[in-house]
Structure 1
Amino acid sequence: MFRLSSKSRFKKVIRWLHLWLGLASGLVFFIMGITGAIYSFQPELSRLTQPYLSVKAEQRPYLPVSQLQVIAAKELPGKQPSRIIYYAKDQAVTVHFIRRGKASYYWAVFLNPYTGEVLKTRDMDTEFFRFILRGHMYLWLPPSIGKPVVATCTVIFTLIVVSGLILWWPRNRNARKSSYTVKFRASPKRLNYDLHRILGFYASWVLVFILATGLAWSFETVMKAEYWLFSGGRGRPAPPKFISRNEGSEAAGTVIDKILYTARQGYPGIEHYQVRLPDSDSAAVQVILYLKEGRYAPADNLYFNQYTGERFVAKNWGLYAAANAGEKANRMTYDIHTGGIGGLAGRTLVFFTGLIAASLPVTGFCIWLGKRRKRRQQKEYYKKKQV
């Protein structure tokens, strides 16, 4: 008897926690779910709606990276290019101009890599998918406000998902039979209940991974703990920093061409890579080569002296093959969060999970509202009966 009573009290506490956490964060949960679902197909939708991202593939080499850099810089006088990203042979090269902090900006120049033709110059802060991403990451608030709000809500979402799984757990074998399928022919009230409970159950197994990676992004301690766990107790090292010294040997334009040529020598067939330009007189040039198309974790990071083209040797956050399990787990955060780790199938799964996640606050609110109305009706009934 005591055991049953304990279980009943435990479920009551979990139900209360699930309800009020859901009501408090439901709007944020909806925004995060719908924006995440939309962004999961960003590469395909961008190419479909933005024709300047595509070019005709040609059987000739690209223009030197230094030349593309100069062409892009002329489009935005007074702004410094930050990185140059290459995609497939039938896609435009993108030169990004990014400045953070005060007087921040984010512009991009899209170029034909074969001819240097400027296809589009765009303020990326006005681009649709940047708008969606800002909603997902900051709720369209200033980052200093939005980021901690989203981080806090991610913790709350984790508690909601775990408590939801506990509440879903069937009481007995007979109840288990009706816990996996939605009764679409049932009454609207029962259908809404099934959509919340059963779709929530299926989505939870994907949401667990999405939320875990979201927590890693939100809290440095979670990222460090992940590294410690998978590396066998090692501390998470900081990204490498190399000092470039000016020896006055070559012109800057020649060096950047030499760097990219050297970086690509050991990677025949690689089409997706980027050059991160130095943001100071002493910083290094970083070249990132993506080893598997559509995924960002398997990548080699190469570092070079911006003045001489000499390659620096990185002890960590360098070659993917040399990374330990902790570093690889950290690198996989983005691919797991977006579903990219599973290719198109993985991103499709994240898309439907995001839609379900966005629906849960709505169906949950309807359940709460229905119970509230029922309690009011019962109170009114007993009042009339007493009179």
Structure 2
Amino acid sequence: MKKRGKSIFRIVNDWLHLWLGLVSGIIVFIVSITGCIYAFQKEISSVTQPYQFVPVEEKPYLPPSELKHLAELHQLGDKAGKPGKVINAIQYPGKGKAAIATYRDKKTGYMMVYLNPYSGSVLKAKALEKDFFRIILIGHYNLWLPREIGQQVVCWGTGIFVVLLITGLIMWWPKNLRKANVNKSFKIKWKASFKRVNYDLHNVLGFYALTGALIIGITGLYFGFKWVPKTIYWVASGGKQMPERRGTVFSDTTHIPVQTALYSPEDNVWANMRREYKNEGSLQITFAQKQSDAITASFNPQEGTFYKNHTRYFDQYTLQEIPGKTLYNKPFEQGSGADKLVRMNYDIHIGAIGGIAGKCIAFLISLISASLPITGFIVWWGKKRKGKGTRSSTQVARPVRSVMEA
């Protein structure tokens, strides 16, 4: 039934906003507040983790094979080289940064070993799963639940949040542009009662954060539902199918040269890449673990973002480059508009696409998003209590009127 002159559309919209908000409130709060904390992960880690940095020296870096050997000797000892006991990759993050050797351990999970790239001395060995920001990221991504469950809960909660933003905008929209309505919709009346201030915090701040929250929400759905990036790419490209985001290529094991190389193939690839990229940016070399594996080289010219990352593959026997077919197997500048949009998704999501200013904006939007379930619940609870009080008063008043009439 229609209430207070509202249309059926508004009644349904308001009902959806209320109950979807109550159902998803705790999910939206956790995802938003962990997003707030993670927004400045890189900046905070730079201060709290000094082992990430080394003094710049006027001598060359040690090659990947040597850093790998030193890291394995330090971490694995006599077990180095056995199945599951090998360093997978060496990363050179850039000038003044420690090199990072990575591997996976059955007990401790993903391990990171920080080394001085000039001397090879080990600065720190860290289990990534115990890192504070990694714990925050797991909460943001799957609520600290098993991944196959938590990821789906977060994705559906984020999808509901996007719907709430749209239904909230419909509820917020002023009926007319008279001064009273404009002030109510765009300004917080700080000197009013707690109930009014809380309502304004939900209503007004929700409107100001709407556009940014929609962008963060939609770019967040990208990571959970496979159809989201495919749809974004299809729309942006005018109906084309999106290439795979991840891919695997293999070395041609039928053409193994008789004469072996004087140096490890990974060292050769690394040296060639450094010459090509003029020793700039971040460069990671992933070792070939099997006879059929290719060597992977990932180069990122820009610190703080990931959308320009370029991944290349090389045959471990001939060192010939093997073409890849994913979005990241070509320089960012050579991609189409749709390619670039999809590659920028993560940096848009965390605000890094706009530098430190973009991160600040993402932080504020996430903070407001975390507050919306709280202020919205208080509004609902206040109306619920008010409704009970009104009904109780009516029930008491009816007998009184009956006696007076008699």
With normalisation by structure 1, the TM-score equals 0.93
Distance 1:237 1:81, change over 3 A: same
| Residue number in structure 2 paired with 1:117 | 121
AA at the equivalent of 2:174:
P
- Kindly indicate whether the alpha-carbon contact (under 8 Å) linking 1:250 and 1:308 is maintained by their aligned counterparts in 2: no
Report Cα offsets for 1:177-198 as digits up to 9, x if no partner.
3322222222111111111111
Report Cα offsets for 1:36-81 as digits up to 9, x if no partner.
0111100011111112112112222211111111112223325332
| Residue number in structure 1 paired with 2:153 | 149
AA at the equivalent of 2:145:
L
| Residue number in structure 2 paired with 1:74 | 73
| Residue number in structure 2 paired with 1:28 | 27
Distance 1:349 1:252 in 2: 52
AA at the equivalent of 2:9:
F
1:315 Cα deviation from its structure 2 partner: 4.8
Q: Provide the secondary structure at the position in 2 that maps to 1:301.
A: strand
Q: How does 1:4-43 map to 2 (within 5 A)?
A: 8-43=7-42
| Residue number in structure 2 paired with 1:314 | 324
Q: How does 1:257-296 map to 2 (within 5 A)?
A: 257-278=267-288, 280-296=290-306
- Kindly indicate whether the alpha-carbon contact (under 8 Å) linking 2:108 and 2:127 is maintained by their aligned counterparts in 1: no
Q: Provide the secondary structure at the position in 2 that maps to 1:140.
A: coil
Distance 2:234 2:289 in 1: 31
- Kindly indicate whether the alpha-carbon contact (under 8 Å) linking 1:286 and 1:302 is maintained by their aligned counterparts in 2: yes
Distance 1:56 1:98 in 2: 28
Distance 1:202 1:269 in 2: 44
Q: Provide the secondary structure at the position in 1 that maps to 2:310.
A: strand
| Residue number in structure 2 paired with 1:83 | 89
Match of residue 198, structure 2, among 192, 201, 204: 192
Report Cα offsets for 1:79-133 as digits up to 9, x if no partner.
332332222312212222137xx87821111111111111111111111011000
Q: How does 1:178-327 map to 2 (within 5 A)?
A: 178-238=184-244, 239-246=246-253, 247=256, 249-250=259-260, 254-278=264-288, 280-317=290-327, 318-319=329-330, 320-327=332-339
1:316 Cα deviation from its structure 2 partner: 4.5
Unpaired runs of at least 5, structure 1: none
1:369 Cα deviation from its structure 2 partner: 0.8
| Residue number in structure 2 paired with 1:376 | 388
Q: Provide the secondary structure at the position in 2 that maps to 1:182.
A: coil
Q: How does 1:297-376 map to 2 (within 5 A)?
A: 297-317=307-327, 318-319=329-330, 320-376=332-388
AA at the equivalent of 2:224:
S
- Kindly indicate whether the alpha-carbon contact (under 8 Å) linking 2:21 and 2:373 is maintained by their aligned counterparts in 1: yes
Q: Provide the secondary structure at the position in 2 that maps to 1:207.
A: helix
Moved more, 275-284 or 196-205: 275-284
Distance 1:45 1:25, change over 3 A: same
Higher-Rg member (1/2): 2
Distance 1:221 1:312, change over 3 A: same
Distance 1:108 1:147 in 2: 25
Q: Give identity over the alignment, percent.
A: 40
Moved over 6 A (4+): none
Q: Provide the secondary structure at the position in 2 that maps to 1:234.
A: coil
- Kindly indicate whether the alpha-carbon contact (under 8 Å) linking 1:84 and 1:96 is maintained by their aligned counterparts in 2: yes
User: Does residue 63 in structure 1 map to residue 62 in structure 2?
Assistant: yes
Distance 2:99 2:374 in 1: 42
AA at the equivalent of 1:273:
L
AA at the equivalent of 1:213:
T
Q: How many residues align?
A: 382
- Kindly indicate whether the alpha-carbon contact (under 8 Å) linking 1:270 and 1:289 is maintained by their aligned counterparts in 2: no
Moved more, 68-77 or 246-255: 246-255
AA at the equivalent of 1:75:
H
AA at the equivalent of 2:21:
G
- Kindly indicate whether the alpha-carbon contact (under 8 Å) linking 1:75 and 1:121 is maintained by their aligned counterparts in 2: no
